[in-house]
A and B are shown apart, each in its own frame.
Chain A
Amino acid sequence: MAPTISGLIASAESGDPDAADALFAALYAELHELASRQLARGPGATLGTTTLLHEAYLNISQREGPRFPDRARFMGYAAKVMRGLVIDYARRRQALKRGGRFEITTLDEDAAGPAADAGELARIGEALDELARVEPALAELVDLKFFAGLSLIEIGELRGVSERTVQRQWERARTFLYGALREAS
C-alpha cells in the first residue's frame, strides 16, 4: 500500500531522509496532476499557484482524514515543491524560447517584474537550499511568498505571527538572496 502523505511527513520529520525525498515526489505528483486536471476541466484556464496549493491541501487532507497535519506544515512542504514545479516549467519555456521562432513582445503585463528566467530561478533555488541549512524558516518564507504566491499577511496568519515580523524576515531573506545572485552572475 502506498504511504500516505501524512505518513511521509511524519517520517520525514522524524529524520528519515528517504521519506523526505518520497514526500517531495508525492507532493510534486499531486500538485502537477491537480494543475493538469484544473486546466482540462476549466473554467479558469490558468491557475494561481496559491489556489493550487489551497486546493491541494483540501484534497489531500480530505482524502487522508483528520490526522493530516495542519495547513501551516503542509504549506511549508508544498511551497518547496511549488518551487520545483516553477523552476521546471521555466526550464521548459526557456527551451521553447530558444527555439527562435517566436518573438516575445511587450504585451507582457509583468513589465516591471523580473523575467522568469530559468537560470535565475535555479540560482535562487540553490541559494535557498543553502539558506535552508541555517535558517529554514527564511527559506520556507521565500518559497511561500515568491513561488507559492502567498501574501505576507497570509503567511503571518499561517505561522501565527504578525505581518510586521514576516515583513522583516522577508527583507532579510531577500537581501541574502540578492547578495547570492549578485555574486553568482
Chain B
Amino acid sequence: MARLSAERWVLVGPEFDRALELDPDGRVAWLESLRARDPALADDVESALADHRALDEQQFLEQPPAVPDEPAFAGRTFGAWTLVAPLGRGGMGSVWLARRSDGRYEGEAAVKLLNASLVGRAGEERFRREASILARLRHSGIAHLLDAGVSALGEPYIVLERVDGEPIDRYCDAGALSVEARVRLFLEVLDAVAHAHANLVVHRDIKPSNVLVDRNGRVRLLDFGIAKLLEADASSAPATELTEQGGRALTPEYASPEQVTGAPITTASDVYALGVLIYTLLAGVHPLAADRRSPADLIREIVDTEPRRLSDAAPDEDLRRRLRGDLETIVAKALKKRPEERFASVTAFAEDLRRWLRHEPIGARPDNPLYRLGKFVRRNRTAVTAAGLAVFGLVAATVVSWDRMREARRQRDAALYQKRRADGEIEFQHLLVSTIGAEPVTMRQIVDQGAILLDKEYGDDPGVAASIALALASQYEMLGDLEHQGETLRRAETLAERAGARDLVLRSRCSQAVNLRQRNHPDEGSALLARLQPELEHAPPEVLAECLNRQAESEMRANRFESAAALATRSVALAEQAGLTKGMPYLEVLNTRANAIENIGKGRDALAIYRRIDRLLEESGRGKTMFRTVIHNNIGTALSNLGEMTAAAPMLRRAMDEFRQSDPGDNVHPAILINYCRTMMFLRRLDEAALWYERLYRQSAAQNDPNMQDDGAYGMAEVEILRGRLDEAETWIAEEGRVQKRLAEPRVANAPYLEGTLAKARGDLGRARSALRRALTAQGYDRGERTYQMQAALIHAAEAALEAHAAQEALEYARAAHGIAAADPLTETRSAYVGEADLLEGRALLASGDTAGARTALARARAALIAGAGEDHPRAREADALLARLPS
C-alpha cells in the first residue's frame, strides 16, 4: 500500500490518535463506524495501526543514534593501546577496537571510554584502585580486564579482552536450546559470577547484553563491576544507575528492588539479576512482563509486584509442564524482593540448580508447603561419618547439655519429653549429614542446611525445633552473619511460644536484643532487654547465665568493659553454682569473662583462661569446631594486646585460615581480620596488612556491615600512612569519614587520629600535635582515662612532640603509654608496646639531657622490643642505634 503523504497524515493523524486510545474491542467497533462514514480514511487508519504495531515491536526510533565526533578518536592512544575503529556505543560510553601500540599483546582488545567525571586526584585514585581489583578477576567465564587508566586529558578508560559472541538470550533462541541445556549454560554464568563474588566483586549490571556466548559455546561475562567504577565520586550516595549522563534512562529490567530504591547493592543484587535472566531464558518473557511497561511503571512493579510463576508464564502447555515444580521454586527464590530472602550466595543458587538437574531434593523452599517427598525416597542415604559427628559437636552440645542438666532435676514425664527432644536432636544431625552427603562440607553449608531442615522436619515439634534454632543462631553469629542470626532467632521465638517453652522464649529474646545492638540498632536492643529483666530474674539459672553472657558480650562491643566484666563474672559464677560446668555453654561464658577482664587490664589472666578453654575443647573432642577458631583468635589477640607480637602472629594466622576453610565464600570473620591486620601493621608487614584490610573493607561493603567497613577503611588509611603513600591515605580517610556517617554510634576519635598521623607524616607538626591531642581528648585522656585504644595515639603524639622539641610533653605521653601497656610485671620485659613507649621515653630523656636515664630506658626498650617484635623490627633497630651512639 502506498504510504501516506504528510498532507494526508494531517487528516489521518487525529483519527489514528483516537484509535490508539481504545482497547482492541472498542477499536474494531470504532473502525467499523468510521468505515461507514469514510472508507478511504478507515483504510488509511488501519494501515497506520498496522505500521504502529510493527514499529512498536521493532522499537523503531527508540534508540538514539550515535554521537558525533567519534572518528576523532581513531589513532589516539590510551595508555599502551591504540584505538583502531569504533565497535559501538552504549550506556556507559563508546567502545573501540584497539591494538597494543608496542605489539606486545597478541590479539585485539576493546577499549571502553567511560562517560565518567572523576573528581580530582582522589577520584582518579579510587578509579585505579577499583580497576586493579577488577583486573585480578581471572576466570574462563569472565572477559578479562586487561588494563585501565586515565588518559593525559583526564578521560578514564578500561581495556577489555575482546569477546566475539552473542547475547545469551539470542544464542539460546537461535539454537532452540532445551530447558536443561539452558540451565546448564546458565550454570556456567553462575560459576563466573561466583568466582567474582569470592573475590568480592559485585557485577551490578547483569543482563543479556553483558552475558555473551562465544563461538565455542562458552559463556563470557562482560563489564564486571564496571558500574561501580563509574560512581562519580566517593561521597555520593550509591547511584541507582538507572540514568546515564544526558538524561536518557537505561532500562531497569534487570534492576533489583534495592537498586531501584537506592539501598546498598550487594552480591544479593546480582542474584536477583541472575534470577531475572534465567526466568527470561526459560519462559521467554520478563518476570514482570516488562516489555509493555514504561520505565516508571516498571520501577514501581520491581518494588511492589510479585513476579508471575515461571510455569504460568510459559507460552505453551509442554513448556509449562517442564517448568513446573522445583525449578520455578528455585527461580522464585532468586527473585525475592528482600535480599536476605534470596539465595545467600550464587554458589547456593547453582547448587540447587544442579540438584534439580540430578533430580535431587533442592534447598529452596517453595512458598506453598506442598513439597514432593517422592524425591526423598529415590535417593540413597549416606551413613553418618565420625568426622560428621565431630563437626556437630558444637550444634548438639549447645542444645543438649543444658537440657541434660535439667533432665536430672525433672519428673518422669518431663524427663521423657527431654529424652524425645534429645533424640530429636540426634536424629536431626543424622538427617542433616545425610542430606549433605559424603562431600566435604563447610560449617557455613551445614548451618544453612540446618536452617532448611529445621523448617521441613520439625513443624510438629516446635519445642525441639526452637532449641535447634537457637543453636543454629549462635552458629550464624560465629560466622559473623548477623542477618541470618536475627532471622533464626525470630523463628526460634515463634517456635518456642508455640511450644509454650518459656525458657526458650526468654533465651531467644535475650539473644535478639543483643543481635539488634550489634546490627546498629542499640536503642531497640536495650529497650528489649529492659523489658525482659523482671522475668529473667525468676528464670532458671542457665537461662539467666546465658542472657548475662550475651549482655556482657554486647557491653564489650560498646567498649563498656567494667560493666562487661561484672556481667560476665556473674554469669560464670551462676553457672558454677548450678553445677553446669560441663559442656559448651560454660566454655562460652568463660570465654566472655576472659574477653571482659582482658579489657580491664588483666590480659595475662585472660590468656590463661583462653588456653584452658583451648585445652578443654581439644580434650572433649571438639577440636575442629568454630568455637575453637574463635578461641585461637582470642589467644592471638590477647598476645597481641600484651605486646607479644611475634607470638601472636602465627596464632592469628591460624585462626584466619581455619575460618576460611569453613566458609565457602572465603569470608573471614571481620574481628579476626582486624586483629590480624593490626598485628601485621605493628610488625611492619605492611603489604600483608594492606591486603587483608582491603579485603575486610570490601567484604564488609558486600555484606552491608558499616561498622566493619569503617574499620577496614581506617586500617587502610593507617597502613598507607606508614607506607608513605599519603595521597592514597587521604582517599581512605575521606572514605572512612563517609562510612562513619552510616554508623549509629560514631567513632569520634578516628578522624582526628588519622588527621594527626597524616599531618605528622607530612611534617606539619603543629597540625599533627593538635589533632592527636584532640583524638586523645575524645578518648578521655584529659579525664584521666587510660585505655588500650589510646596507645597508638600516645606514641604518635610523643613523636610529634619530640620533633617539635617539646621533650617534656613527649615524656608525659611516653610515660602514659608505658602505663597503659604495662599490664603486669611480665609485660615490662616482653611487650613490644612497652618497648615502644620506653623507646620514646628514652628519646625524650635524651633530648632533655638526661643521658643516664635515657640509657636505662633505651636498654629496657631494646629488650622488650626484641622479645615482642623481633630484632629486625624498625623500632628495635632504632633502640639499638640510639644506644650505640650514647657515650659509654
A residues contacting B by CB (< 8 A) are: 32, 35-36, 39-52, 85-86, 88-90, 92-93, 96, 101-114, 116, 121, 124, 130-131, 133-135, 142, 145-151, 154, 168, 171-172, 174-180, 182-183
Contact = CB atoms under 8 A, between A and B. Distances in A.
Nearest to A179: B3
Interface size class of B (residues with CB under 8 A): 35 or more
A90 B70 CA distance: 10
Interface stretch (B246-254, B452-460, B519-527, B658-666): B246-254
Interface string B554-584: 0000000000000000000000000000000
A151 B48 CA distance: 24
A171 B95 contact: no
Interface-central residue, A32, A86, A104, A178, by most chain B CB under 10 Å: A178
B88 A107 contact: yes
Contacts of A171: 17, 20, 52
Nearest to A108: B88
Contacts of B91: 109
Contacts of B156: 43
B16 interface: yes
B118 interface: yes
A121 B65 contact: yes
Given A104-B87, A178-B55, A183-B2, A85 B115 contact: no
Contacts of A48: 67, 115, 244-248
A88 B68 contact: yes
Contact of B64 (A35, A149, A178): A149
Given A42-B155, A49-B67, A93-B70, A130 B6 contact: yes
B84 A151 contact: no
B97 interface: yes
Contact of B155 (A43, A52, A92): A43
A89 B69 contact: yes
Nearest to B20: A171
Interface stretch (B164-172, B472-480, B505-513): B164-172
24 contacts: A39-B72, A42-B151, A43-B117, A43-B154, A45-B73, A46-B69, A46-B93, A46-B94, A88-B68, A102-B84, A102-B85, A105-B87, A105-B162, A106-B167, A107-B88, A110-B89, A112-B59, A130-B5, A134-B10, A147-B65, A168-B17, A172-B13, A175-B51, A178-B55
Interface in B145-177: 151, 153-157, 162-167, 170
A6 to B, nearest CB: 24
B675 to A, nearest CB: 41
B71 interface: yes
Q: What 3 A-B pairs come out closest when comparing CB atoms? A: A48-B246, A109-B90, A113-B63
A92 B88 contact: no
A116 B247 CA distance: 20
Contact of A45 (B2, B10, B62, B93): B93
B89 A174 contact: no
B22 interface: no
A104 B116 CA distance: 25
A43 B66 CA distance: 19
Given A45-B113, A112-B59, A182 B3 contact: yes
Nearest to A46: B94
Contacts of A172: 13, 16-17
Given A107-B87, A179-B3, A149 B248 contact: yes
Nearest to B160: A107
A116 B71 contact: no
A172 B11 CA distance: 12
Contacts of B66: 86, 89-90, 93, 116
B3 A107 contact: no
Interface in B417-462: none
A145 B73 CA distance: 26
Given A109-B209, A149-B246, A168-B20, A175 B71 contact: no
A149 B244 CA distance: 11
Given A48-B67, A107-B163, A142 B116 contact: no
Interface string B9-21: 1100100110010
A45 B157 contact: yes
Contacts of B84: 102
A89 B6 contact: no
Contact of B61 (A47, A109, A146, A168): A146
B737 interface: no
A86 B68 contact: yes
Contacts of A147: 64-65
Contacts, number: 214
Nearest to A154: B247
Interface string B244-278: 11111100000000000000000000000000000
Contacts of B54: 178
Contacts of A47: 67, 69, 115, 246
Given A49-B67, A149-B246, A44 B115 contact: yes
Interface string B74-103: 100000000011111111111101000000
A106 to B, nearest CB: 6
Contacts of A85: 68
A35 B65 contact: no
B63 A112 contact: yes
Interface string B494-514: 000000000000000000000
A92 B86 CA distance: 12
B61 A142 contact: yes
Contact of A109 (B7, B89, B162, B165): B89
Nearest to B73: A45
Contacts of B60: 114, 174, 177-178
Nearest to A138: B13
Nearest to B166: A106
A119 to B, nearest CB: 12
Contacts of B193: none
B61 A174 contact: yes
A105 B164 contact: yes
Contact of B69 (A35, A112, A145, A151): A35
B68 A110 contact: no
B795 interface: no
A172 B247 CA distance: 23
B41 to A, nearest CB: 15
A60 B164 CA distance: 44
A183 to B, nearest CB: 4
A39 B85 contact: no
B248 A151 contact: yes
Given A147-B65, A178-B55, 9 more contacts: A35-B68, A40-B153, A44-B116, A45-B115, A47-B69, A89-B67, A145-B64, A150-B247, A154-B247
Contacts of B170: 111
A158 to B, nearest CB: 12
Nearest to B18: A168
A149 B65 CA distance: 9
Contacts of A177: 60-61
A102 B74 CA distance: 12
Contacts of B74: 96
Contacts of B61: 114, 124, 142, 145-146, 174, 177
A134 B9 contact: yes
B203 to A, nearest CB: 15
A39 B86 contact: no
B859 interface: no
Contacts of A32: 68
B4 interface: yes
B164 A46 contact: no
Nearest to A168: B17
Contacts of B67: 35, 46-49, 52, 86, 89
Given A46-B70, A178-B54, A179-B4, A96 B85 contact: yes
Contacts of A44: 115-117, 155, 245
